[in-house]
Amino acid sequence: MPFDAVVVGGGLLGTATAYHLVSAGARTLLVDRADAGRATDAGAGILSPETNGRDPDAWFRLAVEAVAYYPALIERLRGEQAGDTGYARCGKLVVAVSDDELEPFAQARRLIFERQKQRGLPRADDLHDVTAAEARELFPPLAPVHGAIYSRIAARVDGRLLNRALRTAAEARGLAVRQGSVERLVIEGDAVTGVVVGGETVPAGAVAIAGGAWSEAFGKQLGVTLAVAPQRGQIVHLGLHGTDTSRWPMVNAFRQQYMVAWPDSRVVAGATRETGSGFTPHTTTAGVRDVLAEALRVAPGLADAEVREIRVGLRPLTPDGLPVLGDVPGVAGIFLVTGHGPTGLTLGAYSGKLVAAQMLGKAPETDLSPFGVARFSSPAR
C-alpha cells in the first residue's frame, strides 16, 4: 500500500513529524531502527530559551516558538490519553560559581536581558537577578555564587516519556510502524517516490529523514552535504533518598553542563560534549568523572547522592550548531528534520510540526531558511 508519507527515524524528531502528519489525516509509515544511543533517550529536556546566552538569534527565535508550543501539545496529548510526558514548569537558575565565570556570566546576562527588553517578555517577575542567598534557597545543594539569574517560567520534559506519548497518540490515529532500516531512497528523475526497507520498496508521496546522528548516510544519494555528526553526551542520574526535590529549579553554570531536578528525589547532572566520539554510545571513566566533578563544583551539597543511572546519547551535531530543517533543493518530496545537537528536546516537537506541514504542501509558519541544508554546500545533482 502506498503511503502519503514515510518518516525515517523513531526518535523525538521523527515521532513528532509522524504524529503531526497522521493528525492531519496523512497515511504515514514510521520506520524505526531503534539505534542504541539515540539522543532522545538521554536528553535533559531543558525548555528555557529565555536564559540562553550562547546561541545565535536564528536558534533563539525558533526555540521561543518551540517552547511556546509545548503547553498546547501537552494538553492535546493529555486529551488523547497518550500517557505522561514529564512536562512541568520548574524554573531555572543561571549562576556564576567561580571567578573565571564572572565574565561569561556578565556577557550572558547582557544578552538575556537585552532579548527580554526587545521582546517585552518574559515579565520582570518571571526573569530577574536573584541574590546568592535566594539562589541557594531555591536549590539548597548550591555552592556560594557570585551572580545568579532566575527564570520562573522555565520548564522541563522527559524525552523518553514524550516520545512514547507521541507514538501512542499517533498509532491511535492510524500510524503504521515498521522496525528496520531504510536501505536507500527510491528516486525517479528529480523526485523521491519511496524507500527500500528490508529489500522491499515502499511507495510514498513524501519522505522525511529524521535519523538523528545517523542522518548523514543519506546525503550522498541526495547529492548534498548533510553535515550531521555524532557527539557523545554522558548524563548521570543522582538519587537523594528522602529529599523533596520536586520544587528545585534547573541549574546552569558556565562549563557547558547543567542539573535538572525531578520529583522522585532525583537530580540529573550532565552532560559531556564529546565531539568526534563516533557511533560509540558507551560510558567512559573520564566522562563520568567530568560530569560528577562539575556537579559537585556547582552543587557540593550533592556529595552524598547515590548514582542511580548513567545514560549516553549521540547528539546529531552540525558545524554551526543549528538544526537542518526543510526540503532538499533539486529533489522533490524529500524533507530533513535532523541536526538538533544538544537542543533536540527543546526544538524537536515543534520542528516535527513545521516539517510535517511542509510535507503536506503548506507554507511553514516560521522562516526555515536559516536551517536549510543548502548552507553546507550546493546540490551536486
Q: What is the pLDDT of residue 381?
A: 39
DSSP string, 226-283: ---EEEEEEEEEEE-TT---TTPPEEE-SSS-EEEEETTTEEEEE---EET--S----
Q: What is the pLDDT of residue 364?
A: 84
Q: What is the pLDDT of residue 379?
A: 42
Q: What is the pLDDT of residue 32?
A: 96
How many angstroms separate the CA atoms of 213 and 230, rounded? Answer: 5
CB neighbour burial string for 256-294, b if at least 16 within 10 angstroms, e if fewer: ebbbbbbeebbbbbbbbbbeebeeebebeeebbebbbeb
Share of the chain above pLDDT 90, in %: 97
Run of H or E including 74: helix 57-79
Q: What is the pLDDT of residue 256?
A: 85
Q: Return mean pLDDT, the chain.
A: 96
pLDDT in tens, 353-381: 999 999 999 988 999 999 999 999 744 43
Share of the chain above pLDDT 70, in %: 99
Residue 324, SS3? strand
What domains appear along the chain, each with residue ranges and CATH number?
3-42+160-226+320-375 (3.50.50.60), 92-153+230-317 (3.30.9.10)
pLDDT in tens, 175-192: 999 999 999 999 999 999
Question: What's the average model confidence in pLDDT over 208-222?
Answer: 95
Count of alpha carbons within 13 angstroms of residue 242, beta-carbon side: 1
Return the CA Rg of the chain: 21
- Which residues 6+ apart lie within 8 Å of 124 measured at CB? none
| pTM score of the predicted model | 0.96
Copy the grid coordinates of residue 84: 505522561
CA distances 291 to 5, 88, 273, Å, are 41, 25, 10
| Torsion sign across C-alpha atoms 45, 359, 31, 218 | negative
Q: What is the pLDDT of residue 54?
A: 86
Q: Is the pLDDT of residue 19 over 50?
A: yes
Q: What is the pLDDT of residue 377?
A: 79
* Beta carbons of 223 and 381 less than 8 angstroms apart: yes
Run of H or E including 165: helix 159-172
pLDDT in tens, 127-157: 999 999 999 999 999 999 999 999 999 999 9
pLDDT in tens, 268-302: 999 999 999 999 999 999 999 999 999 999 999 99
Question: Residue 225 is which amino acid?
Answer: T
Residue with cell 521523527: 14
